[in-house]
A and B are shown apart, each in its own frame.
Chain A
Amino acid sequence: MRRVNRGLLPTLVIGLAFIQAGCQSQLEPWVPDEDHNVTITSEAKFVLTRQGEYVDGYLARFQSQFEQQWMFMVLEIPHYVKGDRLTITGRFIDDSVRISFENRSQEKVPVFRVERAKPNIPSAPDVPALK
């Protein structure tokens, strides 16, 4: 009996520790980063999300699957201005904000947490010179 206890106890403790760690985990499931070319369509806003978090960011428009879509892009330092075109990297989180825009009343917009953003300056097309 004593020998069984000796082997069983550490396994039991480790098992319990794993279960507790799993229960208390604050980690979100890993989602790969996405890149989007967006156009900022609002001034900087400080809004409350559906999950109850206050965030800084902008309403932005982007193209996905040949459709125009909207996101609320969250940045900790909102130094961009309305009309800026950016390439942003980050991910959609399981959250949304209610915003009215383009004469639409209070619409649910998904939240995109930005990790990197840089100006999107389209390069001029490379047209060969006429001979």
Chain B
Amino acid sequence: MKVPRASRTFFVLVLALPVIGCRSGPIEGWSSRTRTMILTSGPTEISLSSSKVPGYWAQQADSGQEFFLYTRIRSYEKGNRVKVEGPYGNAYPSVFRDEAGVYLQGYPTEVLVVWKMARSDVQNDEEPLSQEDADRAPRQ
């Protein structure tokens, strides 16, 4: 049975699309949106693939979702309200939770790579980051 060439191409394309869809996955957390966070720790670190990653534990102000903010800046303190910008994704690092003194390997964590970070004592999330106050973490 001969299948016309056009039909064959169409059939292959239809089959290929779901495969591409499965392999690519969502573009997770790629956003330049400014997020307001409340730091729940002082400067600390986690370990990702045996590499130490400095930063802070934080809770997103509106949703309460927990993040690890990857930054080399160490001038903030627990309880500070900050605005951050940068992409984020899910990871399974080894962590030490200071508040409970607990060490966990492979702890599911949202890691946000900080591009911009600034103090935010105002409640309005829409206010842009002021360039003077914004600390820039090196992009890697």
Interface residues of A (CB under 8 A from B): 75-77, 79-80, 114-119
The number of residues on chain B lying at the interface, defined by a beta carbon within 8 Å of a beta carbon of chain A, is 16
Would you list which residues of chain B between 67 and 122 have a CB under 8 Å from chain A? 94-96, 98, 100-106
- Tell me the complex Cα distance, A77–B98, Å: 11
Does the CB pair B104–A79 fall under 8 Å?
Answer: no
- Tell me the complex Cα distance, A128–B68, Å: 46
18 interchain pairs, CB-CB under 8 A = A75-B103, A76-B50, A76-B94, A76-B105, A77-B45, A77-B46, A77-B96, A79-B103, A80-B103, A115-B105, A115-B106, A116-B102, A116-B103, A116-B104, A116-B105, A117-B103, A118-B102, A119-B101
Whether B47 is near chain A, meaning CB under 8 Å from some CB there, is yes
- Tell me the complex Cα distance, A119–B97, Å: 12
Those 9 A-B pairs whose CB atoms lie nearest each other, nearest first: A76-B47, A76-B94, A117-B103, A77-B96, A115-B105, A79-B96, A119-B101, A118-B102, A77-B47
A96: min CB distance to chain B, Å: 20
Give the residue among B47, B96, B98, B103 with the most A Cβ atoms within 10 A: B103
Chain A residues within an 8 Å CB radius of B101: 80, 118-119
A85: min CB distance to chain B, Å: 11
Chain B residues within an 8 Å CB radius of A77: 45-47, 52, 94-96, 103
Residue ID in chain A nearest B50 by CB atoms: A76
Chain B residues within an 8 Å CB radius of A79: 96, 98, 103
- Tell me the complex Cα distance, A116–B107, Å: 10
Chain A residues within an 8 Å CB radius of B106: 115
- Tell me the complex Cα distance, A80–B102, Å: 10
